Chain A
Amino acid sequence: MAAAAHGARDVAIVAFGQSDHRRSTDELSEVELLMPVLHEVLAATGLKTGDIGFTCSGSSDYLAGRAFSFTMALDGVGAWPPISESHVEMDGAWALYEAWVKLQTGECDTALVYSYGKSSPGSVRDVLTRQLDPYYVAPLWPDSVALAALQARALIDAGDTDERALAGVATRSRTAARTNPHAQLRGSVPHGGYVVHPLRTGDCPPIGDGAAAVVLAAGERARELCGRPAWIRGIDHRIEPHSLGVRDLTDSVSTRLAAERAGAFERPVDTAELHAPFTSQEVVLRKALRLGDQVTVNPSGGALAANPVMAAGLIRLGEAAARIHRGASERALAHATSGPCLQQNLVAVLEGDPR
Chain B
Amino acid sequence: MTEVLSAPLVVEFPFTRSVGPVQSAFLTGLRERTLLGVRAADGTVLVPPVEYDPATAAELRDLVEVAPTGTVTTWAWNPGPRRGQPLDTPFAWVLVRLDGADTALLHALDAPDPDAVRTGLRVRVRWAAERTGAITDIACFEPYEGDVMVHQAPSHSGEFVGEAVTGIVAPARLDYTYSPGRAQSQYIRALSGHRTVGERCPSCRKVYVPPRGACPTCGVATAEQVEVGPRGTVTTFCIVNIKAKGLDIEVPYVYAHIALDGADLALHARIAGIPYDRVRMGLRVEPVWADSATGSRYPDHYRPTGEPDADYDTYKELV
**Contact: A143 with B76, CB < 8 Å?**
no
B115: shortest Cβ distance to chain A, in Å?
Answer: 11
- A165 on interface, CB distance cutoff 8 Å: no
For residues 21 through 57 of chain A, which have their beta carbon under 8 Å from a beta carbon of chain B? 26-32, 35, 38-39, 49
Partner among B15, B74, B84, B172 whose Cβ is within 8 Å of the Cβ of A154 = B74
By a CB distance below 8 angstroms, the chain A residues around B170 are: 134, 138-139
By a CB distance below 8 angstroms, the chain A residues around B220 are: 35, 39, 78
Given the interface pairs A134-B17, A194-B77, the reply to whether A121 lies near B182 with Cβ below 8 Å is no
- B48 on interface, CB distance cutoff 8 Å: yes
- A197 on interface, CB distance cutoff 8 Å: yes
- B252 on interface, CB distance cutoff 8 Å: no
* A30 to B178 Cα, complex, angstroms: 12
The 8 A CB mask of B158-192 against A (1 = contact, 0 = none) is 00000000001010101111111111100000000
* A299 to B215 Cα, complex, angstroms: 37
* A112 to B154 Cα, complex, angstroms: 57
Q: Which residue of A lies closest to B15 (CB)?
A: A134
For residues 230 through 250 of chain A, which have their beta carbon under 8 Å from a beta carbon of chain B? 241, 243-246, 249
Partner among B93, B134, B212 whose Cβ is within 8 Å of the Cβ of A75 = B212
- Residues of A within 8 A of B (CB-CB), count: 60
Q: How large is the interface on B (under 10, 10 to 19, 20 to 34, 35 or more residues)?
A: 35 or more
Partner among B17, B95, B134, B214 whose Cβ is within 8 Å of the Cβ of A150 = B95
By a CB distance below 8 angstroms, the chain B residues around A77 are: 219
* A65 to B15 Cα, complex, angstroms: 17
**Contact: A27 with B95, CB < 8 Å?**
no
- A196 on interface, CB distance cutoff 8 Å: yes
**Contact: A122 with B176, CB < 8 Å?**
yes
By a CB distance below 8 angstroms, the chain B residues around A39 are: 220
B258: shortest Cβ distance to chain A, in Å?
Answer: 21
**Contact: A243 with B48, CB < 8 Å?**
yes
- Chain B CB count within 10 A is highest, among A30, A126, A136, A147, for A136
- B288 on interface, CB distance cutoff 8 Å: no
- A167 on interface, CB distance cutoff 8 Å: no
A247: shortest Cβ distance to chain B, in Å?
Answer: 9
- Chain A CB count within 10 A is highest, among B85, B172, B174, B218, for B174
By a CB distance below 8 angstroms, the chain B residues around A246 are: 46, 54, 103
* A64 to B219 Cα, complex, angstroms: 22
Q: Which residue of B lies closest to A153 (CB)?
A: B74
B73: shortest Cβ distance to chain A, in Å?
Answer: 8
Q: Which residue of B lies closest to A143 (CB)?
A: B82
* B interface residues with partner A (beta carbon < 8 Å): 1, 4, 6, 9, 11, 15, 17, 19, 23, 27, 46-48, 50, 54-55, 73-79, 82-86, 93, 95, 97, 103-108, 114, 119, 134-136, 168, 170, 172, 174-184, 212-221
Closest 6 CB pairs of A and B: A78-B219, A29-B181, A245-B104, A149-B76, A141-B84, A197-B77
